[in-house]
Amino acid sequence: MTQPMDLDPPPLLPSPSPLPKSHKSTPLTTLTLPPTTLSYASLTPLSPSPSSSPPPLDPLLLKSYLTSALSQFLGQTGAAIPIDILQVNPSPPSAWIRLPRPDLAAFSAAVASFGGISSGKEKLVLKVEAAGDFLGALISRGEGERDIWG
């Protein structure tokens, strides 16, 4: 003897009202840096021996040094790389140059592998302190590293 159960249908709940659609969020600003066509390098002279100081650096000597280094490393192709000398500091001796971006790796290799030029008893050898595509990043990085590492 089973009796059917008296089941009440569930009460109808009011359908939830759809939430108001929020507006799409839009970024306030976006910035995409275009690819650069130029690169920058900071150079400092080294003295080959601790007792001697490097010769004073001037734009003509720097241009001669870089042309010699590039032509020894890459031949006439290296000598044809356009280099702009942006700044030459006499004290402390350093220089900033600008060159085409595709040539930066070859330039760094040429300067690093070049033995230097001699004028009498003095010999000039340059070191690439910093190189990259954005000058502002190189300047701040170079000064900060000098303060930390000396």
pLDDT digits (tens, 9 = 90+) for 103-135: 999 999 999 998 887 767 777 889 999 999 988
pLDDT digits (tens, 9 = 90+) for 30-65: 888 788 899 999 999 887 667 677 777 889 989 999
Q: What is the pTM of this model?
A: 0.70
The H or E element that residue 74 is part of is: helix 59-74
Instruction: Count the neighbouring beta carbons within 10 Å of the beta carbon of residue 79.
Output: 15
**Where would I find the H helices in 88-134?**
104-113
38-149: what CATH class? alpha beta
Domain residue spans of the chain: 38-149
